[in-house]
Structure 1
Amino acid sequence: MPGAPRSSSFARGLNVLAAVVDGGPQRADEVAARTGLSTSSVYRFVRRLVDDGFLEADGHGTYRVGPRLSRLQDGPGTGQTLRSLALPFLRDLVSETSETVLLTVPAGLSALVVESLDSPHSMRLSFAPGTLRPLHAGASAKALLAFAPQDVIDRVLGGRLERFTPGTPAKATLRTQLARIREQGYVVSRGEVDPHAVAIGVPVLPRGRLACALSIAGPEHRFDGNRAHTEVRALTAAARALASRIEDSARTLPAPPYSTT
């Protein structure tokens, strides 16, 4: 509504929706802390947003992006097709690395988790499909950002970079990191979003166009020594194989959203 005051009910509802879109799945009290609204007000807004399909509840008090927004982020049929193509490689990576494996795609200025397969270890990191992660922190996101169009990179670097931990990169550091990721073709992050977590991400580039990213994540104590180098090789091989599979299926898969050329 043009000219609507930021204190209007409409604006507050948008703030609640934006909190979940930007911050990923959250409880109502977390949304309240992020938006400055009372928890009772947040509940009132999320009920309407759930009814309208913009958010969905997981049955445990957590709200995430709903089907109406997921369709917009994913493109018609893209996520389901990509998930089907990637699943064999994700399963192989879990078997080979014994860590949580993620498939992420760019969604505006966020990384959308399309699929996540959990580590068999009792101590693991878990990510629900539909989670939106910021592009400036974490391996699964920075593997996408490094190969995004320059205008996307400029928008991320020109905005406010939320700091999740002391390890979250500042703008100058992030700019340097992105150049290094493009040069070496992978990224290792340590404690950037979750303290004491390590993640490794690689882009998937069919015909030089960014389609998605593959990453593994786990607690830092399992990434001692040269283990990261071994996992980079496994991820890189899987990314190349998935890129070839996507190329073979190009007639049924819509064009990837970002080009590296």
Structure 2
Amino acid sequence: EALGLLMLVAEHPSLGVTELARRAGLTKARAFRLLSTLEHRGLLAREAHAAVYKLGYNALLVGNAAREQIELIKLVAPHLVALGEACGENVIVRVRDGLESVCVARHESSQSVRVHTEVGNRRPLHVGASGKLLLAFAADDVVDAVLARALERFTSTTIVEPDQLREELAAIRAAGYAVSLGERDAEAV
């Protein structure tokens, strides 16, 4: 429960105890006790003037330790820089986590116009080139689970029809790559 609250604050900073308790499915008293413990450990900080929570300084220790301990991140780091410099664009690495993709590493380009993705950013697998690529090569039970859910529409080009997504996944498998034209953000083409 405490880690669930920590993740909620990481994904939605500046929420108060009432809203955090509601989103976590906890009583307000239980949420307050857990938040207080996380605050005492320095993982969360409460802004006294607004009574809302944000990550504390000790969360940096956890994040930096993860960056150093996750082998994939260490392995791809030099390649991200080389690829980013060669193409002059942002380069990200996303992995599948359940029915979502999560950004685990990135290289930021110096272009004045670019799409910005934070490490830790999550999105459904049916959205964007990287998510669709991961989905196209995932096990059949993962594809079936994604297609069994309502596919959220982010823009007018987001694929939300299961049959259309199946066709797109087949095309991605055949081509070996995926393309996204404004599926998550209409301005990212």
Q: TM-score, normalised by structure 1?
A: 0.52
Mapping 1:9-88, distance limit 5 Å: 25-28=11-14, 41-43=18-20, 48=34, 51=38, 80-88=70-78
Q: Which runs of 5+ in 1 are unaligned?
A: 1-9, 30-38, 71-75, 199-261
Q: Return the alpha-carbon distance in structure 2 between the equivalents of residues 102 and 81 of structure 1.
A: 16
Q: C-alpha displacement at 1:26, in angstroms?
A: 3.8
Mapping 1:100-139, distance limit 5 Å: 100-139=90-129
From 175, 178, 181, give the equivalent of 1:190.
181
Runs of 4+ in 1 over 3 A off after TM superposition: 24-29, 43-50, 76-79
Contact map agreement 1:28 1:43 (CA 8 A) in 2:
no
1:238 matched to which residue of 2? none
Could you tell me which amino acid in structure 2 is paired with residue 112 of structure 1? Answer: V
- Bigger relative contact order (CA 8 A; separation at least 6): 1
Contact map agreement 2:68 2:74 (CA 8 A) in 1:
no
2:82 matched to which residue of 1? 92
Deviations 1:44-98 (A, max 9, x none): 6687469299x978x9x877xx89xx9xxxxx99972111111121111111111
Q: Specify which structure has the higher proportion of strand.
A: 1
Contact map agreement 1:27 1:62 (CA 8 A) in 2:
yes
Q: Indicate yes or no: 2:140 matched with 1:150.
A: yes
Q: C-alpha displacement at 1:41, in angstroms?
A: 2.0
TM-aligned CA distance change 1:157 to 1:176, over 3 Å: same
Could you tell me which amino acid in structure 1 is paired with residue 182 of structure 2? Answer: G
TM-aligned CA distance change 1:28 to 1:82, over 3 Å: same
Cα RMSD for the two superposed structures: 3.8
Contact map agreement 2:102 2:122 (CA 8 A) in 1:
yes
Q: Which runs of 5+ in 2 are unaligned?
A: 25-30, 48-52
Deviations 1:86-116 (A, max 9, x none): 1121111111111111111110111111101
Q: Return the alpha-carbon distance in structure 2 between the equivalents of residues 84 and 115 of structure 1.
A: 9
TM-aligned CA distance change 1:119 to 1:41, over 3 Å: same
Could you tell me which amino acid in structure 1 is paired with residue 176 of structure 2? Answer: G
**Percent identity of the aligned residues?**
37
Q: Return the alpha-carbon distance in structure 2 between the equivalents of residues 151 and 78 of structure 1.
A: 32
Q: Return the alpha-carbon distance in structure 2 between the equivalents of residues 166 and 95 of structure 1.
A: 32
